[in-house]
Amino acid sequence: MSDVSIIGIGKTDVGEHWNTSVRHLSWYAIEAALDDAATTDVDALYVGNMLAGRLSQQDHLGALVADFAGLRGVEAVTVEAADASGGAAMRQAVLAVKSGLVRTAMVVGVEKVTDETGSAVIAELATGLDADYELIHGLTAAGAAALLMRRYMHDYGVQLDDFAAFSVNAHGNGADNPEAMFRNRLAAERFATAPVVAEPVSLFDMAPLADGAAAVIVTDAERAMDMAPKPVQVVASTLATDTIALHDRREVLWLAAAAQSAEKAMSMAGIAPHDVDVFELHDAYTILAALSLEACGFAPRGQGWHLARDGEIGRQGSIPISTFGGLKARGNPLGATGVYQIVEVAQQLRGEAGACQVPGAQIGMAQNLGMAGGTAVTHILRADFSGNLEFSGK
Amino acid sequence: MQVSRHWRLKSERYKLVGETCDSCGVKLFPPRDVCLACEAPAKELYTFTGFGEIYSYTTIYDPPAGFEHNAPYTVALIKLEEGPLVTAQLTDMDDEEVRIGMPVEMVTRKLRSEGEEGMIVYGYKFRPAVPVQELSAA
Ligand SMILES: [Zn+2]
């Protein structure tokens, strides 16, 4: 069994790409990753996507994207796990390389949400909920987050304003990321004036849906040393599931899949939470940021928001999160989000994060959730260039 | 139209029919044939009383397609008196302020309709529970 390393990364701007289709978004990210890896040698392609079949009437993305990315003929499939599709696709690529059956695998996460607008997009996104027992009652993704947030505030005596620091941090980091959708800083005082989407969730609590694509190339670690000056090692890859519906959970305020996948990943990597230098978590809603920090062992139950309040989630804090803006400010291109997280963590570990750089980051974690945590995918990456100081190309 | 998709759920939607576990007695809604608590088979049907209290709630201002006509509306997690949580809309609230812990009871209402000619889907919603003394006085 060989170890797995990342040798190439690429991504598009996140935002409204009115002139660009699913296939072209995918190609731009793939092209960037191939350039970065200085190779065209890819044996398999895993496409993470949630809604192309519904919003663009385009399924069968594996073959389509392979064709338009100049990879015609390679093994290619789509991986779907709601907005954890990108993380799940990454997981498949790692499994493939680790098994030895695939030498070099490409992951591309892509989402094109602006082919539809308004209530149509809200309805399609809500297909990630339980159709027979949640969606039929008019629940939305934001509504599910709101049910969590209301109960959290009730049980732990938390105020609406207490969530503001998550969004202020995300926007502050997004302002430094040229690919982010939102590059404006948020003032905490304005939080209370934001339009309400699903009470108590306001626009300032939720990430904007957006178009985007990101790509990652992985291969076995030994080969990676010869191919890339700064290969980033994938030291853990896990995926766990929980009930989709909140009403089926034993403990509504505990993200069991997030906890299970994080615990297993940290044990695989042989690290503890305090070893993590940068954490790209799934802040589709501020409440999910708080609950993820708790599930992954960075804060006791009911106290995830303390880390935001106390400035611990900033670049200089004990657990920097959303370092490129997170879903909140970089934007949430659903099935692509999990791959953006991987690309961003790799940039941090290579020391190539520009103004978003967390100084000296050596170990990074990415956790991608499907809706309110029905799926949780955790990857832990490690900078390991020690043997590569004399890298001289292929 | 998807008539069969809704038809097969009619006893759940109209009467809150779930299941009970032979081994540990836990009640399940929605029915899933396997006990969530002890994983034993749980196929015996059980009709819930329809009484419970609000566990959490949200008022939705940005509805999905098909629900625009009644937005804003309030969706709640209801803790049924037998134990399980269920997701449903609140109705008949008049001027009452929704709060966590509020006693509610199940009623049957229209969940959604698909245009003038389309199918209408009925099912459970919850309203403030009518206190027992008011019922006996009426
Ligand atoms: Zn049981």
d(CA A9, CA A32): 7
Minimal CA separation from B45 to chain A, in Å: 18
Centroid of ligand 1 to alpha carbon of A13 (angstroms): 50
Task: Return the percentage of chain B with pLDDT > 70, whole number.
Answer: 94
Task: Return the percentage of chain A with pLDDT > 90, whole number.
Answer: 93
Q: Is this structure's pTM higher than 0.90?
A: yes
Residues 10-29 of B with CB under 8 A from A: none
Q: The domain that contains B59 carries what CATH number?
A: 2.40.50.840
Q: Is B42 on the interface with A (CB under 8 A)?
A: no
Q: A334-371, pLDDT tens digit by residue?
A: 999 999 999 999 999 999 999 999 999 999 999 999 99
Give the full edge-to-edge strand order of the sheet including A4-11. Answer: A75-79, A44-48, A104-111, A212-220, A4-11, A232-241, A375-383, A363-370, A278-280
Residue owning tokens 């759940």 = B12
Minimal CA separation from B6 to chain A, in Å: 8
* CB-CB neighbors (< 8 A) of A157 in chain B: none
Find which of B6, B33, B56, B74 to mutate to test the A interface (most A CBs within 10 Å of its CB).
Answer: B56
SS3 B136: helix
Q: Which residues, 6 or more positions from A284, have their beta carbon under 8 angstroms from its beta carbon?
A: A83, A141, A145, A206, A207, A327, A332, A369
**Mean pLDDT, to the nearest integer, of A225-241?**
95
CB atoms near residue B109 (< 10 Å): 15
Residue owning tokens 């804090």 = A317
Domain residue spans of chain A: 4-116+208-383
Q: B133: pLDDT confidence band, cut at 50, 70 and 90?
A: low
Tokens representing residue A231 in the block: 């290969």
Q: Sign of dihedral through CA atoms A227, A268, A373, A60?
A: positive
Q: Is A147 on the interface with B (CB under 8 A)?
A: yes
Split into its structural domains, chain B has a count of 1
**Pick the residue with more confidence: A391 or B128?**
B128
* CB-CB neighbors (< 8 A) of B89 in chain A: 137-138
Find which of B11, B24, B87, B98 to mutate to test the A interface (most A CBs within 10 Å of its CB).
Answer: B87
**Mean pLDDT, to the nearest integer, of A261-278?**
98
d(CA B62, CA B73): 10
d(CA A310, CA A298): 13
User: Of the candidates A204, A201, A200, A199, which has an alpha carbon nearest to the alpha carbon of residue A184?
Assistant: A204
Mean pLDDT for chain B? 91
User: Phi/psi of residue A337, each to 5°?
Assistant: -55, -45
Q: Is A155 on the interface with B (CB under 8 A)?
A: no
Q: Is B77 on the interface with A (CB under 8 A)?
A: yes
Of B9, B61, B88, Cβ closest to residue A198: B61
Beta carbons of B61 and A199 less than 8 Å apart: yes
Q: Is A322 on the interface with B (CB under 8 A)?
A: no
Minimal CA separation from B117 to chain A, in Å: 19
The complex scores an ipTM of 0.95
Distances (CA, A) of A108 to A45, A111, A128: 8, 10, 20
Beta carbons of A123 and B70 less than 8 Å apart: no
pLDDT for A387: 60
Q: CATH classification of A4-116+208-383 is 3.40.47.10, yes or no?
A: yes
CB atoms near residue B4 (< 10 Å): 8
pLDDT for B113: 78
Domain extent, residue B78, equals 3-137
- Residue A224 pLDDT > 50: yes
Centroid of ligand 1 to alpha carbon of B28 (angstroms): 9
Q: A1: pLDDT confidence band, cut at 50, 70 and 90?
A: very low
Beta carbons of B65 and A200 less than 8 Å apart: no
Q: Sign of dihedral through CA atoms A121, A127, A130, A131?
A: positive
